[in-house]
């Protein structure tokens, strides 16, 4: 496909998840993403993942998941000649993305102002845990730390288990998504004005913004968010229910949905029951209502109830684990996964998730497998005007 960002060159100096995830989104819509890595070790994610052997090879599962569609060059940015090669790259690029602690790039002489002198319209995106200023700006950024600080953990779980960490790195993911959106917006602005941009992305703020009603109910209504487990504070019956086989999520948030649900499970009496007839009554007696509903749901499996309820307009869905959802016909038919049969230093096919949207002009997705560390160093340096002898000298001096 001709990607939305075809012709855009992005320099990805990031590590582990938030930054690599951001640049992975850009690569999937056509950007040429060049991963600039430390010689010898590269992105820390190369050593992370559930397979120790892949970690040893520098192709850990955590790296493979976020870096398909990219090229890799190794540059020692602490070496003058490594920095010189990097500035040559900048002169050919549109976007620079980094997730160092604030001030690191300035100390290397490669901060926004320095790079703007090289390429006046460069878009520079700095992703950090807390942003480029404020009292926490130098604190290390780890997903669980951010989850605890931003309030996510306080509303995850129930009264007995909260505060509880969300089961995937949600703060990293939100930081990466926020950064990719900001970069796309800056690229659009540059097309109209010719001006570059400095983008300051805070994982803490990105995560807090994504909390939606948990924040607005406090800011606007003065109601302190509480952990409610699988219950939905805005309506009842709306949550997770036991069935004859498996768990089922039901979101009968509207009156007509509740009434349809009651009829489908053979409990018409619930519609006029004084504790359940009105919306606010159902919220007050949500646990009593859940007990009544679960006794009826025992007649069928979660899969059967899901099909029946959705057919009649009552939102419902099975509670699946990761392997099950990846095999679900909905995911399979829409081809969310991309498989690379041959990946350097990996002894098996590699499957990765693509983007979470589709395009009429051609669906986004990575066009090449995740690269070995430094796989494109010589080629990229050659494109920048370095001779073979120059490259050998740079390698001997440990600048690359």
List active site positions.
172
The sign one gets for the Cα dihedral 261, 264, 270, 271 is: positive
Q: According to the model, what pLDDT value does residue 201 have? A: 98
Task: Give the global pTM.
Answer: 0.93
Q: Domain 238-319 has what CATH class?
A: alpha beta
Q: According to the model, what pLDDT value does residue 38 have? A: 97
Q: According to the model, what pLDDT value does residue 81 have? A: 97
One fold for both 9-210+333-396 and 238-319? Answer: no
Q: What is the mean pLDDT of each run of 10 residues along the chain (400 residues)?
A: 88 97 97 97 96 97 97 97 97 98 96 97 98 96 95 95 96 98 98 98 97 94 93 91 97 96 96 95 95 97 97 97 96 96 95 94 93 97 96 96
Q: According to the model, what pLDDT value does residue 262 have? A: 97
Per-residue three-class SS string for the chain: CCCCCCCCEEEECCCCCHHHHHHHHHHHCCCEEEEEECCCCCCHHHHCCCCHHHHHCCCCHHHHHHCCCEEEEECCCCCHHHHHHHHHHHHCCCEEEECCCCCHHHHCCCCHHHHHHHCCCCEEEEEECCCCCCCCCCCCCCHHHHHHHHCCHHHCCCCCCCCCCCCCCHHHHHHHHHHHHHHHHHHHHHHHHCCCEEEEEEHHHHHHHCCCHHHHHHHCCCCCCCCCCCCCCCCCCEEEEECCECEEEEECCCHHHHHHHHHHCCCCHHHHCCCCCCHHHHHHCHHHHHHHHHHHHCCCEHHHHHHHHHHCCCCEEECCCHHHHHCCHHHHHCCCEEEECCECCECCCEEEECCCCCCCCCCCCCCCCCCCCCCCHHHHHHHCCCCHHHHHHHHHCCCC
Q: According to the model, what pLDDT value does residue 198 have? A: 98
CA-CA-CA-CA dihedral for 127, 344, 46, 29, to nearest 10: 20
Q: According to the model, what pLDDT value does residue 2 have? A: 60
Q: According to the model, what pLDDT value does residue 232 have? A: 87
Q: According to the model, what pLDDT value does residue 233 have? A: 82
Domain locations in the chain as residue ranges:
9-210+333-396, 238-319
Topology of domain 9-210+333-396 in CATH is: Rossmann fold (3.40.50)
Q: According to the model, what pLDDT value does residue 224 have? A: 94
């Amino acid at each position: 496909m001709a990607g939305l960002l075809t012709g855009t060159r992005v320099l990805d100096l990031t590590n582990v998840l938030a930054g690599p995830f951001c640049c992975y989104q850009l690569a999937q819509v056509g950007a040429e993403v060049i991963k600039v890595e430390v010689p010898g070790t590269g992105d820390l994610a190369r050593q992370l993942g559930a397979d120790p052997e892949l970690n040893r090879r520098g192709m850990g599962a955590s790296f493979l998941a976020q870096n398909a569609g990219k090229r890799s060059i190794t540059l020692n940015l602490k070496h003058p000649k490594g920095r010189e090669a990097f500035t040559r790259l900048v002169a050919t690029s549109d976007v620079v993305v980094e997730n160092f602690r604030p001030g690191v790039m300035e100390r290397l002489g490669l901060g926004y102002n320095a790079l703007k002198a090289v390429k006046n319209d460069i878009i520079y995106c700095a992703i950090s845990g807390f942003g480029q200023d404020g009292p926490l700006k130098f604190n290390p950024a780890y997903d669980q730390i951010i989850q605890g600080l931003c309030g996510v953990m306080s509303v995850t779980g129930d009264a007995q288990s909260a505060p509880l960490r969300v089961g995937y790195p949600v703060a990293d993911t939100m930081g990466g998504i926020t950064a990719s959106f900001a970069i796309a917006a800056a690229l659009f602005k540059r097309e109209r004005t010719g001006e570059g941009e400095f983008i300051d992305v805070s994982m803490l703020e990105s995560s807090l913004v994504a909390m939606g009603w948990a924040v607005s109910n406090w800011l606007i209504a003065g109601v302190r968010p509480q952990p409610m487990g699988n219950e939905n504070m805005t309506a009842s019956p709306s949550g997770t229910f036991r069935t004859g086989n498996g768990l089922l999520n039901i979101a009968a948030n509207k009156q007509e949905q509740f009434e349809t649900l009651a009829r489908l499970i053979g409990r018409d009496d619930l519609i006029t029951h004084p504790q359940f007839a009105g919306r606010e009554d159902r919220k007050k007696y949500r646990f009593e209502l859940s007990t009544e509903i679960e006794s009826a749901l025992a007649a069928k499996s979660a899969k059967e109830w899901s099909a029946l309820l959705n057919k009649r307009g009552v939102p419902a869905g099975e509670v699946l684990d990761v392997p099950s959802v990846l095999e679900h016909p909905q995911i399979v038919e829409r081809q969310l996964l991309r498989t690379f049969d041959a990946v350097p230093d990996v002894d098996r096919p590699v499957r990765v998730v693509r983007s979470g949207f589709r395009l009429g002009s051609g669906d986004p997705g990575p066009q090449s497998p995740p690269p070995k560390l430094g796989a494109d160093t010589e080629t990229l340096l050659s494109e920048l005007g370095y001779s073979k002898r120059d490259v050998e000298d740079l390698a001997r001096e440990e600048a690359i």
